[in-house]
Amino acid sequence: MEVGAQFGDEGKGKIFDFLSADAKYVVRTGGGPNAGHTIHLPQGVVVLHQLSCGVLRRGVVGVSGPGMVVQPFSIEEEIRELERRGLLQGEVAISDRAHVLLPVHEIEDAWQDDLRARRNPEGALGTTRRGIGPAYSDRAARWGIRIADLDRPAVLRENLELMYAAKSHLANLPPIDELASRLAEVGGRLAPYVRSIEPILWDALARGERVLLEGAQSALLDLDFGTYPFVTSSHPTSAGALVGSGLPPTEVDSVLGIAKAYATRVGGGPFPTEETGEAGEFLRRVGGERGATTGRARRCGWLDLVLLRYAARLNGLTALAITKVDVLGGLEEVPVCTQYEMPDASTVRDVLPTHADDLARARPVYERLPGWPEFHARLRERLRREGASALPATLRRFLDRIVEETGVPVELVGYGPARDETLRLPPPVTRRTGAGLSAWSG
């Protein structure tokens, strides 16, 4: 399985697409239309919001899994747009257990975030306003509507009436009769894609077929273990991926954490290594750091090894993928945060403070590593031809430092957006934790 190991936007779509070439099923395990996985194909750029990247590969089944909240109207548009562009190469499967995200939830999401901002401008979460939190709340309240309910008019109507009664404080709700009719219609159009996913995956594993679990958002946005309340409403961790797919932990053979060579964050919340000046603007400009879903400029900063160590322990990472190393090419030095100094003079190395306010007061302590050359055309061609051995020595040292600090081997390196701009590194001699584990052993 693959999980984001930072605050999101780590280039997960590129890595998922790369690995899906060897999979039979690729299962998106959580979230909804608040996520955008950007994939650069020879035919052009694709941004997937609710579909798994498996739909872009011939012979692969892309699953929108049971842990998701699915906006039925926009997922239908996403399918049709891929068909129109000739990019729907795999098969689409939508879990019948996934919950339905409604226009009602989008209205409620905006109302909630506006309420927070009015009471405390610094407390606004900066959500995507796509209705994710309210949809998950209704799921937990047990009056949510599931994809399987769209062809059951009595169930659909009863739960809509419950929702409307609970949300009577909201203005401009769509007429309930109109919404019920539209949901029934879109449910009929989506019916050919709806499946009971769990037995399909169980049977696939019994046949020895490869199943790839595709996480959305990232570990530091986990509802319980992220920077609460500046988090998402699901569990984008390795444990959450199991719940969101219906697979047992005994079937997991690897957990790949995906991280950028620097860090970004969208929306509110603490960000210890954030750079608000010239350095941050450089990362934003060169890295093209704008949200794939919202278009918002991302906050940018340096790689935070404290939080990466925390994500590694939380998720049980067995390997790392480090993306966008090309963005830092040409810098004289590259800062990485190795620990925090707290206001009480204590230091923090591998835990996330429970209170977001405490993390906001942490002062990053940086180690400054030598930079590496720009990724000019000649270097890119050498990398395509020679592989990892062509990586600059100073970049190797940067990757080794990540391995030393996290105890997790670097398996993949992304140096550009294209499918063929990903390197698979040789495995270490031993898979152990602690300093001294090198990405270049073996």
pLDDT tier for residue 355 given thresholds of 50, 70 and 90: very high
User: ∠195-104-228 over CA atoms, to 5°?
Assistant: 85
Computed over every residue of the chain, the mean pLDDT equals 92
pLDDT tier for residue 317 given thresholds of 50, 70 and 90: very high
Q: Which of 10-24, 141-155, 235-249, 417-431 has the lowest mean pLDDT?
A: 417-431
Structure tokens given for 331:
């810098």
Residue 314's closest CA among 371, 257, 368, 267? 257
Q: How far apart are CA 195 and CA 193, in angstroms?
A: 6
Structure tokens given for 269:
């919340």
What is the pLDDT, as a whole number, of residue 433?
46
pLDDT tier for residue 432 given thresholds of 50, 70 and 90: very low
Residue 35's closest CA among 98, 97, 127, 106? 127
Instruction: Classify residue 15 by its DSSP letter.
Output: H
Q: How far apart are CA 53 and CA 56, in angstroms?
A: 6
Q: How far apart are CA 315 and CA 3, in angstroms?
A: 8
Q: How far apart are CA 252 and CA 58, in angstroms?
A: 24
pLDDT tier for residue 435 given thresholds of 50, 70 and 90: very low
User: Which backbone phi and psi does 161 adopt, to 5 degrees?
Assistant: -65, -40
Q: How far apart are CA 399 and CA 261, in angstroms?
A: 9
Instruction: Classify residue 67 by its DSSP letter.
Output: T
Q: How far apart are CA 290 and CA 233, in angstroms?
A: 22
**What's CA 442's distance to the chain center, in Å?**
31
Is 245 in contact with 67 (CB distance < 8 Å)? yes
Three-state secondary structure call for residue 3: strand
Position 117 pLDDT exceeds 90: no
Position 115 pLDDT exceeds 90: no
* Tokens 């020679």 sit on residue: 386
Position 429 pLDDT exceeds 50: no
pLDDT tier for residue 339 given thresholds of 50, 70 and 90: very high
Give 373-416 pLDDT, tens digit per residue: 999 999 999 999 999 999 999 999 999 999 999 999 999 999 99
Which residue type does 281 have? E
pLDDT tier for residue 426 given thresholds of 50, 70 and 90: confident
What is the pLDDT, as a whole number, of residue 199?
97
- Residues 17, 37, 105, 109: which is the catalytic one? 37
9 is catalytic: yes
Domain spans in the chain, listed from the N-terminal domain onward = 2-70+207-424, 99-192
37 is catalytic: yes
Q: How far apart are CA 259 and CA 261, in angstroms?
A: 7
Which residue type does 206 have? A
What is the pLDDT, as a whole number, of residue 294?
66
Give the pairing of strands 299-304 and 262-265.
antiparallel
What is the pLDDT, as a whole number, of residue 155?
92
Position 430 pLDDT exceeds 70: no
Q: How far apart are CA 226 and CA 219, in angstroms?
A: 7
pTM of the model: 0.91
- Residues 9, 138, 304, 400: which is the catalytic one? 9
Position 99 pLDDT exceeds 50: yes
Is 138 in contact with 109 (CB distance < 8 Å)? no
pLDDT tier for residue 148 given thresholds of 50, 70 and 90: very high
Give the pairing of strands 256-260 and 319-323.
parallel
User: Which backbone phi and psi does 424 adopt, to 5 degrees?
Assistant: -100, 120
* Tokens 């603490």 sit on residue: 270
| Residue 344 burial class via C-beta count within 10 angstroms: exposed 0-12, middle 13-18, buried 19 and up | exposed
Structure tokens given for 49:
């919001």
User: What is the CATH number assigned to the segment(s) 2-70+207-424?
Assistant: 3.90.170.10
For the chain, what percent of residues have pLDDT higher than 70?
95
pLDDT (mean) for 158-169: 93
Q: How far apart are CA 36 and CA 55, in angstroms?
A: 15
Which residue type does 416 have? G
Give 58-71 pLDDT, tens digit per residue: 999 999 999 999 99
Q: Residue 146 pairs with which residues in a beta bridge?
A: 99
Residue 157 CB: number of other CB atoms within 10 A? 15
What is the pLDDT, as a whole number, of residue 292?
63
Is 18 in contact with 26 (CB distance < 8 Å)? no
Give 101-112 pLDDT, tens digit per residue: 999 999 999 898
CATH 1.10.300.10 describes domain 99-192: yes
Q: How far apart are CA 23 and CA 61, in angstroms?
A: 9
* Tokens 């190393």 sit on residue: 325
